[in-house]
Amino acid sequence: MAIQWYPGHMHKANKEIRLIMPKTDLIIEVLDARIPYSSENPQVNQLRGDKPCIKLLNKSDLADPVITRQWIDYFQTERNIKARAVSREQPEQIKQILQLCRQFFPDRNLTTRPIQVLIMGIPNVGKSSIINILSGRTIAKVGNEPAVTKAQQKIILDNGIHLMDTPGFLWPKIHNENTGYRLAITGAIKNTAMEYDDVALYAADYFLNAYPELLMQRYQLKTLPKNDMDALESIGRKRGCLLAGGKVNLHKASELLLNEFRSKLLGAISLETPEMAQTEMAAMKNKH
């Protein structure tokens, strides 16, 4: 699925990040715990070089905890990377990140030389909520729509840390089709830039294979649907998403499935594992 979304301010953010990077000591990259690979901007690793990085798997309350643990272990095999699962439901967890930042610079006098931290993440990953918790006040605008933050801002925290916020930005081209679908399922991409039915069919297929019991439980299905289309039609019939003549309104059923996934009504679900990511990365390499 081709995603038609790379607004002008994202291009501008990309250029600004290239300028800030040399003055940055540490990077906090906010990821969506449900899609740590798909929400990881490939340009971050290219730009950061050997600078320390903390990967925050945010919205961890929405993700499968067993798979989130796998992701933390996976990221921490890399040099200079720490990974933590966080959720705005547990602000104390997020506040501990400042102590983690300081651990990277044990010998530095933070009064004379504060740690310059760049916080970044793709749209709608919850970066603004994290900034507000870290600073203890409402600084960043929060919203459910992707791309709420439009400009860069510097936030001086009172503990020897300067936080530089950037607008959420996607990379110019999403080469991995699976990444595109997962970003769309979680709401990182504006609804107007995707085909609901197409995205919901991909989601239904994944849920059937990875979380069949959650799907059956939520929609009170007596038998497991045979495939993605059968699943959407079964959900549509159960929930009264019908057109004249009793035909299932696929668009309505698709909206319902995606919205219920996003609001955790289906349960705590992760859309990818480290193993899946490695397989897809290998396939991408072979393509090019």
- For residue 125, the one-letter residue type is V
Q: CB under 8 Å to 193, separation ≥6 — which residues? A: 3, 4, 5
Q: What sign has the CA pseudo-torsion 152, 68, 267, 195?
A: positive
Q: If you count them, how many residues does the chain have? A: 288
CA dist list (Å): 246 to 200, 241, 242, 249, 254: 21, 9, 6, 9, 17
According to the model, what pLDDT value does residue 44 have? 80
Helix, coil or strand: residue 46: helix
In degrees and rounded to multiples of 5, residue 118 shows phi and psi of -100, 120
- pTM given for the model: 0.89
Walk me through the domains of the chain, giving residue ranges and CATH numbers: 8-165 (3.40.50.300), 195-287 (1.10.1580.10)
- 18-49 core/surface letters (b: 16 or more CB in 10 A; e: else): eebeeebbbbbbbbbbbbbbbbbbebbeebbe
According to the model, what pLDDT value does residue 41 have? 83
According to the model, what pLDDT value does residue 156 have? 87
DSSP alpha helices (H): ranges in 104-176? Answer: 127-135
CA dist list (Å): 251 to 194, 196, 198, 205, 246: 12, 7, 9, 16, 15
Instruction: Yes or no: say if 258 and 196 are a contact pair by the CB < 8 Å rule.
Output: yes
Instruction: Yes or no: say if 144 and 124 are a contact pair by the CB < 8 Å rule.
Output: yes
pLDDT, mean of each 10-residue run, the chain (288 residues): 54 74 93 96 82 97 98 95 96 94 95 93 88 83 46 77 78 79 89 85 98 97 97 97 95 97 97 96 82
